[in-house]
Copies of this chain bind each other. A is one copy, B any other.
Amino acid sequence: MAGERLDERQRRDWLRLMKSEHVGPVTFRQLIARYGEASEALKALPALAQRGGLKRSIRLYPAEAAERDLERADDIGARFVGVGEPDYPPLLARTDSAPALICIKGRPELVQTPMIAIVGARSASAAGRRLARDFGSRLGRAGLTVVSGLARGIDAAAHEAALATGTVAVVAGGIDVLYPPENEELQRAIGERGLLVSEMTPGTMPRAEHFPRRNRLIAGMSLGTLVVEAALRSGSLITARLALEQNREVFAVPGSPLDPRAEGTNRLIKLGASLATSADDIIDALSGLIERAEHEAPASEGLADEDGAAEFNAAGEDHRDRIWALLGPAPVELDDLIRESGLPTHVVNAVVLELEMAGRLERHPGQRLARLA
Binding site for B on A (CB under 8 A): 127, 130-131, 253-259, 262-263, 266, 269-270, 274-275, 277-278, 281
Residue from the list B131, B253, B269 in contact with A275, Cβ < 8 A? B269
| Complex alpha-carbon distance, A256 and B128, angstroms | 9
Chain B residues whose CB sits within 8 angstroms of the CB of A253 once the complex forms: 256-257
Chain B residues whose CB sits within 8 angstroms of the CB of A275 once the complex forms: 254, 266, 269-270, 275
Chain B residues whose CB sits within 8 angstroms of the CB of A269 once the complex forms: 254, 269, 275
| Complex alpha-carbon distance, A130 and B257, angstroms | 11
Chain B residues whose CB sits within 8 angstroms of the CB of A263 once the complex forms: 277
Who on chain B is nearest to A255 by CB?
B256
Chain B residues whose CB sits within 8 angstroms of the CB of A266 once the complex forms: 254, 275, 277
| Complex alpha-carbon distance, A281 and B256, angstroms | 15
| Complex alpha-carbon distance, A276 and B281, angstroms | 21
The oligomer's copy count stands at 2
Who on chain B is nearest to A130 by CB?
B258
6 A-B residue pairs with CB within 8 Å: A127-B256, A131-B257, A253-B256, A254-B262, A256-B262, A270-B274
Residue from the list B258, B262, B281 in contact with A131, Cβ < 8 A? B258
| Complex alpha-carbon distance, A258 and B229, angstroms | 13
Who on chain B is nearest to A126 by CB?
B258
Given contact pairs A253-B257, A270-B275, a sample of 5 additional A-B residue pairs in the complex whose CB atoms are under 8 Å apart: A254-B266, A255-B255, A256-B256, A257-B278, A275-B275
Chain B: minimal CB distance from A18 (Å):
42
| Complex alpha-carbon distance, A40 and B259, angstroms | 61
Chain B residues whose CB sits within 8 angstroms of the CB of A131 once the complex forms: 256-258
Chain B: minimal CB distance from A240 (Å):
15
Chain B residues whose CB sits within 8 angstroms of the CB of A254 once the complex forms: 254-257, 262, 266, 269, 275
Chain B: minimal CB distance from A225 (Å):
17
Who on chain B is nearest to A134 by CB?
B257
| Complex alpha-carbon distance, A269 and B258, angstroms | 18
Chain B: minimal CB distance from A78 (Å):
37
Chain B residues whose CB sits within 8 angstroms of the CB of A257 once the complex forms: 131, 253-254, 277-278
| Complex alpha-carbon distance, A130 and B274, angstroms | 27
Chain B: minimal CB distance from A92 (Å):
30
Who on chain B is nearest to A276 by CB?
B257
Q: Top 6 closest A-B pairs, CB basis?
A: A254-B254, A257-B277, A269-B275, A255-B256, A266-B277, A270-B275
Who on chain B is nearest to A257 by CB?
B277
Chain B residues whose CB sits within 8 angstroms of the CB of A255 once the complex forms: 254-256
Chain B residues whose CB sits within 8 angstroms of the CB of A130 once the complex forms: 258
